[in-house]
Every structure is written in C-alpha cells, then in structure tokens.
Chain A
Amino acid sequence: MSAPTSLAGFVSAYRKSTSATLAAIVLLLILAAALLAPVLSPQDPYDLAQLDLLDARLPPGSPSGDGTRQYLLGTDAQGRDMVSAILYGLRTSLVVGVCATLCAVAIGIVVGLVAGYFGGRFDALLMRIVDMQLSFPAILVALILIAILGQGVGKVITALVAAQWAYYARTIRGVVLVESQREYIAATRVLALPVTSVLFRHLLPNCMPALIVVGALQVASAIALEATLSFLGVGLPITEPSLGLLIANGFTYLLSGKYWISFFPGLALLVTIMSINLVADQLRDVLNPRLRVD
C-alpha cells in the first residue's frame, strides 16, 4: 500500500471521508470570504466615518438608525457592523496564521535538513535547542517575546514563528534520518552531487507529505495562538482587529446579554480552526501510507 501518486488518486482518496470533504468546502468558502472581505462587507469597519455610535450594540437583525440597511449579526460597542468586522478579522487572522506558518516552515526545513543530514554534534546542538523550545508552552514563548518586542503585526508573526519552528525542524529531521538511510541518498554521495542539491532537491520533496500534515495542523494552532494573544490584549493592535480581538471587545458585554459581539467572531474562529483540523487529519490519513486501511 502506498501513498497516492497522482492528483486524481489523491482527490479520490481524500473524498472517502464526508466530514473532511465538507470541511474542505467550508474552508474554501472561509478563504474566499476572507480574500473578498472588502467586496463582501457591507461597510468598512475601520473607516470611522462610516460608523454611527447611535447604532452601537444593536442585536442581530436590527435595522440601522438611518434605516438604510440591516445589521445581520448586530453591531459592537462602536456601532460597527459585526459581519464586516468578522470578515476583516478573519482576513487578518488567516494572513497572520499563514505568514507565521510559512516562515516557521522555512526555518524548520533548513534546520531539520541540516541537522538530519549532517548529524553529529551539530545535530545534537540543534535538537537540544528544539527540545528546550518544545518544553515551554507555545503561549508562554509567544507572550515573553511580545513582552520584549512590543505589539504589531510583524511582531506577532515573529512570536508565532519563534513558538512554532521547532515542530517543523523536528518533523523534518525525523524524515531526513529515515530517508538518509535509503540507497538513493547513498547514490547522491557516489555521484558527488552538491550538498544543496541533495538537501533541497532530493531530501526535501520526500519530506513533503509529513510537512503538509504538520503544516496544516500548525496553521490552525498558529491562528488559535494569535487569537489568544489578541484576546489577552497583547497581540494585534486595535486598528487591525483579528477574531481574537473582536472576541475580547465583546467579552465585557457577555453577562449583560449582548452575546453577539463575542459569540459570532468566536463561532467564526471555531469553524475555521475545526475545518482546518479536519482537513489536516484527512491529509495525514491520505498521505501517510502506514495509517491507511483500504
């Protein structure tokens, strides 16, 4: 039994799970909504001129004060339309999560390949750093870094990368250790191919299945981590609210019955993370031949 080799084979193996297929569709819709946020949103939630304080904290379905439109999911304390805020927030959350994951993957790939291929003391040193990193909770690492660096999109991404690169490094190293024993890697030595070619052309593609699985799961946790930081008030600045910040903004009104300010961003976050996790689970099952049961 082997992992599917063609795209068509991959798609048909993936579609065997109904929940994963649904999750993939939901995820695509979420991505589209986030990308098209400026087009889909009824208002620009960051343009203060478009906000009307008289419309603040309206429940879902209320008409606006001037009667021109309806707030489908209500408004927040500044009279901001929640639909627009969620779409923009989703966009910010996804951008931060994906950027952080890409950077962390890049670092993890280099560290993992080098450590796994060269081995020896260098490997031991790098892996002890990874162990150290993984022995701290990710949120703690991120909090400490934010405390040092300060707030801002770039800084949050830096903190997320610092908290997550070690997962990739360890995963890649594990795969490289296995692959290095295979004869085609011995063959590259016999052919005296350049080291960069061995690492990036021969080893890296063979690490891809593992990388895709870990990457998909870690995007979800990067988004969750960013939401946590923002919820705690140390993440993104208030001018670029992510879902976490939206939840935090409505938090104080929860007990007074104005649930929608926190609830709907929370729901959006939940659905996003859940669909990513479902997709990642299915990817793991499809791409890892050892787990497949046909």
Chain B
Amino acid sequence: MATPTLSIGGLKTWFFTDSGPVKAVDGVSFSVMPGEILGLVGESGSGKSITGFSIMGLIDPPGRVVEGSIVFKGEELRGRSDAAMRTLRGNRIAMIFQDPMMTLNPVLRIDVQMVEAVLAHRKMTRSQALALAHSALERVGIAAPGERLRAYPHQMSGGMRQRVAIAIALLNEPDLIIADEPTTALDVTIQGQILFEMQKICAESGTSLIWITHDLSVVAGLADAVGVMYGGRMVEHGTVAQVLESPRHPYTQGLIASVPQLEARGQPLRQIPGAYSPLVNVSGCAFAPRCERALPVCQTEPQLAATADGRLLRCHNPV
C-alpha cells in the first residue's frame, strides 16, 4: 500500500482561555492517500477549520496542538520549526479560503500576487514564474489568462476570483490542498464548475485534497471519503457511499435528514434539537445532550472503532 500523503492521529488542538481550555479539536484521526479527496463535514464550531490550520502549523496562541501526530509523506510535522514549516506552506501544502472576495489583496494585480507566491518558494526568473501563473490560470478554466493576469481582483467576478485563489494554491504543485469551504460564497453553477475542475486536477496530478465544508451535497458530488466531525471529534469516517447512504452515527443521520429535499415540499424541515456549545466540556459523548438515541452509557466517552463494513464510528448506540 502506498504511503498516505497525510496521516493524522489523535490530534488535539486546545485553546487556553481564562475560563479553561476550549477543546476545539479533541481527538481527530484520518489519513488521505495521494489523489484522494476527503470531505470534512460538520457544523460551525465543530473544529473542521482548526484541524486545517493545525496541519498548516498556523495555530496562534492561546491555541496549541497539545497531542497527536501529523505525518505528512512519512514525516512528522509536529515539533518542526517555523522555518521548516514555511518551506512546506504554500509549497507542498496549500490552503484555499472560504471567501474569494477577501483572499486576494485588493491593491495588487493578480500577476504580482501569483509571481510572488512562486518566487517565495522557488528559484526562477520572473518571466518563468509568470509563465507558471499563466498555465495555473489555464488549469482552473480561466479564459484569456494573459489578460486576467494584468487585472486587479475587483475587476473580476466572485467565481473568477475563487478560481484565481485555487490557481495560486496549485502554483507550486502541492501534494496536499486544504480547502476551507471555498465554494460557500459562490452560486451553485459556479460551484459545480469549480468542483469539477478540482476533481480533474486531483485525478491528473495525484494531489490530495481535504475539502472542509458543511454542505453534504458538495461532499456527495466531490469526495471519495468523508469524515464527519462533531464537537472537535471525528464521529464517523468512511467512504462517501457508506457514510452518506447509510449513516450509522445519529449525528450523521441527523445532518443528512436536515438537508432540504425537493420531495418534502410543504413539510417542516427536520432539524437536530439543541445547539452545539463549544464551551461545554462534556465528559462523555459530545453529541449525547442532543441525541435521541442517548443511553446512560453515553456519559462515558465512546472511542473511534472500525465497524464490520470498514468505516470508523464513535458511538455507543449506532443506528
């Protein structure tokens, strides 16, 4: 079996506030193979984004990665110096943000920003870097890249800006891209196009992709594997077919049931009762207070365990 691009084990990232530690990420494990697309799903505050930033080594105080391992291509990233991390960031590991309006500097032309991103990591001439930028824009499906390179961000539409942001991530041909809800701000047709491009790029270049989202339909269309997070923990992890078609964790099931359906017109939307409160450090299963299937045993913390069909599940009373 090939080495995974990224393998995370028991990752815990806590924020030490005056009112005690906030366990934003509290035991997350998964791995991504080359060319694989992992969808990381969960509601706001479930620790998806913090997981991404932990991998990048960009957790600011009072936050800290307190436990676990982050192995990138067989190499442990925890404990690496900032200088060593800088050689990976933007180079071997790239990140794409949620809001395409904001990730580009409004006062700099696209070519300046792209060339800079290349030259920060590679020794080459400006014109070589520009050629690289040109081909990266082509790869994400931007028409007339030469013209676009000389434009300012405000001269582009939202979809085009997000393509540029993706092109910047692709510039140095990274092994891993972490995309933090990058299509949330886009309309559905543009989102579809970008998802298609991303899938193609990953398949062609063997780049691994972690797609952080709260949108299950995106995961269904894009990802190979899916990890569902709740309260900073991975609660269910398996292939898209396993998890989305036959969810076994009550939270995954609730999440899928909450997606509005066309067939259910006129019916009240399903929702999961209660709300996630990250400041409450429950001793047992984090989802138990909202769970319809909660048992007395749920007061003790369930462990992530493999089930018969090969998925990973953290539940005492699975569906």
Residues of A at under 8 Å CB distance from B?
Answer: 5, 182-184, 186-187, 189-194, 197, 201-202, 205-206, 208
Contacts and interface: CB of A to CB of B under 8 A. Distances in A.
Interface stretch (B101-109, B208-216, B271-279, B281-289): B101-109
Contact of B103 (A184, A192, A201, A206): A184
B44 interface: no
Nearest to A120: B61
Nearest to A206: B107
B190 interface: no
Which 7 pairs show the lowest CB-CB distances between chains A and B?
A191-B90, A183-B102, A192-B89, A192-B86, A205-B107, A190-B95, A184-B105
Interface in B108-128: 108, 112, 116-117, 120-121
B168 interface: yes
B120 A193 contact: yes
B94 interface: yes
Contact of A184 (B56, B86, B106, B152): B106
A190 B85 CA distance: 10
Main secondary structure, interface of A, reads helix
B293 to A, nearest CB: 39
A201 B116 contact: yes
B308 to A, nearest CB: 40
B8 interface: no
B31 to A, nearest CB: 22
Given A190-B90, A205-B107, A182 B120 contact: no
A264 to B, nearest CB: 44
B87 interface: yes
A172 to B, nearest CB: 15
Contacts of A190: 56, 58, 89-90, 94-95, 97
Contacts of A191: 89-90, 94, 116-117, 120, 168
A75 B3 CA distance: 91
B102 to A, nearest CB: 4
B91 interface: yes
Contact of A183 (B97, B112, B121): B97
B150 interface: no
Interface in B70-87: 85-87
Interface residues of B, number: 30
B97 A201 contact: no
A206 B153 CA distance: 14
Contacts of A205: 105, 107-108
B99 interface: yes
A287 to B, nearest CB: 13
A206 B108 CA distance: 9
Given A187-B103, A192-B91, A193-B90, 20 more contacts: A5-B152, A5-B154, A183-B97, A183-B98, A184-B102, A184-B104, A184-B105, A187-B165, A187-B168, A190-B58, A190-B94, A191-B90, A192-B121, A193-B116, A197-B116, A202-B108, A206-B105, A206-B106, A206-B107, A208-B107
Contacts of B99: 183
A259 to B, nearest CB: 51
Nearest to A204: B107
Contacts of A192: 85-91, 120-121
Contacts of B104: 184, 187
Contact of B97 (A187, A197, A208): A187
A183 B96 CA distance: 10
Nearest to B121: A192
A184 B89 CA distance: 15
B44 to A, nearest CB: 17
